[in-house]
Amino acid sequence: MAVVTGASSGLGRAFAAGLADAGADVAICARRMDRLAETAQQVKATGRRCLSIQADVTEVEDCGRVVSDAVESLGHVDVLINNAGIATSYPATREDPDEFRRVIDVNLMGAYWMAQACGRVMKPGSAIVNIGSILGSTTAGLPQAAYSSSKAAIIGLTRDLAQQWTGRKGIRVNALAPGFFPSEMLDEYEPEYLERQLTRVPVGRVGYPQELVAAAVFLASDAASYITGVLLPVDGGLLTT
């Protein structure tokens, strides 16, 4: 059984549907409960069970409740996709402290609280996949100190949890670094900006959601049983340029 955070739209919805296609029952959570309905419909269309839970990952109690509800309804937690995230774009000299903290709270702290809650109940052979970003390793011409910092921190979090849990608890922890994929964040970019950035991508285009989902399913599966603590870029080669 898999838990997917930030599953109300975009890549979170794709992760949930992709895991269901691969045979998993799925617990989905997000702040926008009304938008989880479409995700649940896609999961159930595969014949798998789906549990929708309203939750804010910045609240430790919410994270614990997601996991306890998932265990109660679906029996156990084998996979966590830590997808919930937000982004801002403010010049560093003018960024409001509360805005910076909010990004860190959702993208880093939320991922940690969810991993912590799942780590307490996961059995050996389970897997956590943290969703990072290429912006944890490079820049993309926008003032995104908060977002980039949070995604760089995900790399360290992934490495440390893998060191703590893989040998002792049998829980593998890895991270994906998506490049440019269809998402609410991508929709906010000016077309000219995206065109400039795509010149850095050897494949020459944005990614298809199924290409990122395939990587997540791989890392969550037994096919990746000898992989832990790594950051896997899915970026069309951007980080090679």
Catalytic residue positions? 147
Question: Quick one: which of 215, 221, 207 has its CA closest to 79?
Answer: 221
Q: Cα separation of 9 and 11, whole Å?
A: 6
Helical ranges in 56-190 per DSSP H: 60-74, 97-104, 110-119, 145-169, 184-187
Residue 66 Cα distances to 59, 99, 131, angstroms? 11, 26, 18
Bridge partners for 29 per DSSP:
5, 53
DSSP 143: -
Q: Cα separation of 123 and 73, whole Å?
A: 17
